Amino acid sequence: MTKTAFITGISGQDGSYLAELLLGKGYHVVGMVRRSPQDVYPRIEHLRDRITLVQADLTDQAGLIRVLSASQPDEVYNLGAQSFVAASWEQPVLTAETTGVGVARLLEAVRLVCPHARFYQASSSEMFGNAATTPQDENTPFHPRSPYGVAKAFGHHLTVNYRESFGLFACSGILFNHESPRRGREFVTRKISRQVACIRLGSEEQLRLGNLHARRDWGFAGDYVEAMWLMLQQESPRDFVVGTGVDHSVADFVEVAFAHAGLDWRRHVLIDETLKRPAEVDLLRADPTKACEELGWKLSVEFEALVRMMVDADTEEVNQAKGNA
C-alpha cells in the first residue's frame, strides 16, 4: 500500500531533498506551505506535479488539525521553522512561536488526528551551543546560545515527552549543519559560495563576514534527509545525532571556496563587526557513531567536495542570470 508522508517546511532546503527521496521510494508526499501570493516555491517547482501542497502555518493550531485530518499521513516530518540563528535575536518571540511552540501544536494535532503516524522532529546541534565536551553525542548536555537554540531545545524535549507520555512514535534528529546549492543565501556557506561566484564573474569585489573562527561540522543536506527517513523505519523510536565527525572553521570554508575559483580570499574578504553575534557557538563537532551503527547511515560528500559543489552551482546560476539580463 502507498504510504503518505506529510512534510512541514517542504519549501525549504531539507524539505525539497526529503520530498525527492520519498517520491523515489514511492510515497505520496503531502507538503505543508505557508500561503504565498505568487504560488511559487522555487526549491520544489520541479516536483509540483508529483506532490500535494496544502496551506497551513505552525502558528495556527486549527489549520494543522485540518490539514492532518485531510491527509491522514503515515509519517510526519516537522522541518518547518524560523531556522536562521542570527534572526532569532531580532525576532525571539516569532522564533519561539514557530520553532518551539510550533512543535507543540503539531504534536497535539498528531496526537488528536493521527496518533499512529510516525513523527520526526528537526532538532539541531545549536542546542549544544556552548558545549562542555567535544564531540557531541546523544548524551551531551544542552547549553543553547541563541533564542533559536532555546526554541529547538523545547521542541526536542517535547518530542521525547510525547513519546514517553502518549506512546507516539516520535524521534528527534539532532542534526549538525548541512548545506547544498539549495541552502538559503543568508547562511554563511551559501553567502560565501554565492559571493565567490559573483567575484569570479566580475560583478562584485568584496565579501563581508563576521566571525571567521567559528567551527562547524558541515555535511551535504542530501545525505541528512536519508537519516531522517531511516529514523522512522526503525522498530522503536529513538533520538540520533547526525553529522560528519569533522569540524572546519568559517575561514577554512572561505579558503577552499576562493581557491576553487582561482582567487586569493585575502584580497576580497572584509570583517564586518556588525555581523558578529551577541553570543557565539565556537565549536560544534558530531559523534555520529549511533546513527552510523544503528541506522546504517553513511556520508556521500566530504567537506571539500561540498564547497566545490556549492561554488560550481552558484557560478552556473550567476552566469545564467547575467546571460538573461
Is 9:15 a contact under the CB 8 Å cutoff? yes
Residues paired with residue 30 on neighbouring β-strands, in sequence order:
6, 52
Neighbouring C-alpha atoms within 13 Å toward the C-beta of 76: 31
Active site residue 203: no
- The closest alpha carbon to 3, from 57, 24, 173, belongs to 24
Stretch that binds ligand G4F, among 61-69, 180-188, 197-205, 307-315 (CB under 6 A): 180-188
- Which residue number, 169 or 176, has a Cβ lying nearer to ligand G4F? 176
Exactly one of 176, 220, 297, 303 binds ligand G4F (CB under 6 A); that residue is 176
Taking the complex as a whole, the smallest distance from the CB of residue 179 to ligand NAP amounts, in Å, to 7
Stretch that binds ligand NAP, among 158-166, 171-179, 196-204, 276-284 (CB under 6 A): 171-179
Report residue 173 as a C-alpha cell: 534528529
- Which residue number, 70 or 271, has a Cβ lying nearer to ligand NAP? 70
Exactly one of 277, 292, 304, 312 binds ligand G4F (CB under 6 A); that residue is 277
Stretch that binds ligand G4F, among 18-26, 60-68, 206-214, 261-269 (CB under 6 A): 206-214
- Ramachandran assignment for 267, one of left (phi > 0), alpha (psi -120 to 50 degrees), beta (any other): alpha
- Which one-letter amino acid corresponds to residue 324? N
- Which residue number, 200 or 247, has a Cβ lying nearer to ligand NAP? 247
- H or E element: which one contains 219? strand 219-220
Active site residue 148: yes
According to CB under 6 A, which residues from 180 to 199 bind ligand NAP?
Answer: 184
According to the binding rule CB under 6 A, does residue 186 interact with ligand G4F? yes
- The closest alpha carbon to 121, from 12, 288, 8, 3, belongs to 8
According to the binding rule CB under 6 A, does residue 83 interact with ligand NAP? yes
Helix orientation angle between 303-324 and 188-200, rounded to the nearest 10 degrees: 50
Select which of 11, 124, 172, 180 is catalytic.
124
Report residue 184 as a C-alpha cell: 538559503
How many helices and strands in the chain, by DSSP H and E?
11, 13
Active site residue 120: no
Exactly one of 175, 227, 286, 311 binds ligand NAP (CB under 6 A); that residue is 175
By the criterion CB under 6 A, which residues form the site for ligand NAP?
8-9, 11-15, 34, 57-59, 79-83, 98, 122, 124, 175, 177-178, 184
Q: Catalytic residue numbers?
A: 124, 126, 148
